[in-house]
Amino acid sequence: MLGTAKLMPNVPLTEPAATAVSIRNLSVRFGDRNNEFTALSDVSVDIPEGAFVTMLGPSGCGKSTLLRCVADLVHISDGSISVFGRSPQEARQSRDFAFVFQDATLLPWRNVIDNVRLPLEVGKHAQKHTMPGNYADPHELLAMVGLKGRENSLPHELSGGMRQRVAIARALITRPRILLMDEPFGALDEITRDRLNEELLRVWQETGTTILFVTHSIPEAAFLGQNVLMLQAHPGRVKEFMKVDLPFPRSLAVRDTVEFIGVTAHLRRLLEECL
């Protein structure tokens, strides 16, 4: 075990069924009056604390937009989002969540360890709100994502999968209570993606972080999620918030079971109904 206790969010946990993210009647519209586009319409959902929720839906259903609303990257038109009882902006400033993008977005001039440390160097104003010393050890995190010994490598010397591991380590350094992931493994080959899926589940179980994970892969959504939030398009709205009845801890072998195939078949039917 790699210092599990240290990686846990050190904010006192309330009762187990507490809500991490509560979304109420959320609508997001882009453009001006003459040329308005509704990305999300009347979305309401509660994400329990400690949950692993995957978000699935046809392209253009607004799953990334929903994630970016929670991250305070997109302006909300109507409704509300509360992240542990606070607005997304307050949650961002107190470093309640971290974001992992599809592209690893490492700073190419910084080596691996300095990239992981980046969140500790910026947002000095925001850091005043957080407790001092509330950070994980970068070396420990790199060991956890399997990059021990690559501290001094530059991003262009790493493979795509390794770069995404660095991005995950960087996200975990502030010990976020929520991890927001926007198709983080979408650009990787299938073997790398499978490995990282398994490792992400391990990280989730070791840290107890709530994870919101956008994907357009049905097996990935079923394998990772305790729950799958299915969205449909035009306008983006909730189709179904369903529980995945597969036991944890899950290994890749679970994907060959009848139960798993049942889940993916159900998800595929739902997805087809969305079109």
Partner 1 sequence: MSHVVSSTTKTDAAPDRKIALLDATAGVLVKHMPAIAAAVGLVVLWQFVVWFFKIPTFMAPSPVDVAYAFRDNAGILWTNMLPTILEAFLGFVFGNLVAILLAIWFVHSATAEKAFYPIAVFIKAIPIIALAPILVLIFGNGLAPKIIIAGLICFFPTLVNMVQGLKSASPAMLDLMRVLSASNTEILWKVRLPSSMPFLFAALKIAATSSVMGAIVAEWIGSSFGLGALIIEATYNFRSPLLYATVVIAAVLAVVLFFIVSVIEARMIRWKPAGSH
Q: 37-48 and 19-30 as β-strands: parallel, antiparallel, unpaired?
A: antiparallel
193 touches partner 1 (CB under 8 A): no
Minimum CB distance to partner 1 smaller for 182 or for 220: 182
Task: Please give the Cα distance from 178 to 71 (Å, whole number).
Answer: 10
- Least distance (Å) between residue 158 CB and partner 1: 9
User: What is the identity of the amino acid at 55?
Assistant: M
CA distance 37 to 27: 11
Query: Residue 138 and residue 110: Cα distance in Å, rounded?
Result: 14
Residue 13: what residue type?
L
Indicate whether 63 belongs to the interface with partner 1 (CB under 8 A).
no
d(CA 248, CA 266): 20
Q: Which stretch binds partner 1 (CB under 8 A): 68-76, 137-145, 228-236, 266-274?
A: 68-76
3-state class (DSSP) for residue 6: helix
The yes or no reply on residue 213 touching partner 1 (CB under 8 A) is no
- What is the Cα–Cα distance from 219 to 200, expressed in whole angstroms? 15
Alpha carbons 163 and 103: distance in angstroms, whole number = 9
Q: Which is nearer to partner 1, 108 or 149 (CB)?
A: 108
- 182 contacts 67 by C-beta, under 8 angstroms: yes
> Could you give the string, one character per residue 230-269, with x where binding to partner 1 holds by CB under 8 A and - elsewhere?
----------------------------------------
Residue 17 neighbours by CB under 8 Å, 6+ apart: 48, 49
Residue from 71, 142, 166, 179 touching partner 1 (CB under 8 A): that is 71
Closest distance to partner 1 from the beta carbon of 109 (Å): 4
Residue with Cβ nearer partner 1 (172 or 263): 172
Among 8, 11, 45, 73, binds partner 1 (CB under 8 A): 73
For the bound state, the minimum distance from the C-beta of residue 215 to partner 1, rounded and expressed in Å, comes to 17
Task: Give the SS3 label for residue 147.
Answer: coil
Q: At closest approach, how far in Å is the CB of 128 from partner 1?
A: 10
Q: Which of 16, 35, 125, 253 binds partner 1 (CB under 8 A)?
A: 125
72: helix, strand or coil:
coil
Cβ closer to partner 1: 158 or 201? 158
Number of residues that bind partner 1 (CB under 8 A): 31
Q: Give the footprint of partner 1 on residues 78-97 (CB under 8 A).
A: 92-93, 95, 97
Q: In what order do the strands lie in the sheet with 37-48?
A: 37-48, 19-30, 78-83
Q: Per-residue x/- marks for partner 1, 138-167, CB under 8 A?
A: ----------------xxx------x----
Radius of gyration of the chain (CA): 18
Interface with partner 1 by CB under 8 A: which residues? 68, 71-73, 92-93, 95, 97-99, 101-109, 118-119, 121-126, 154-156, 163
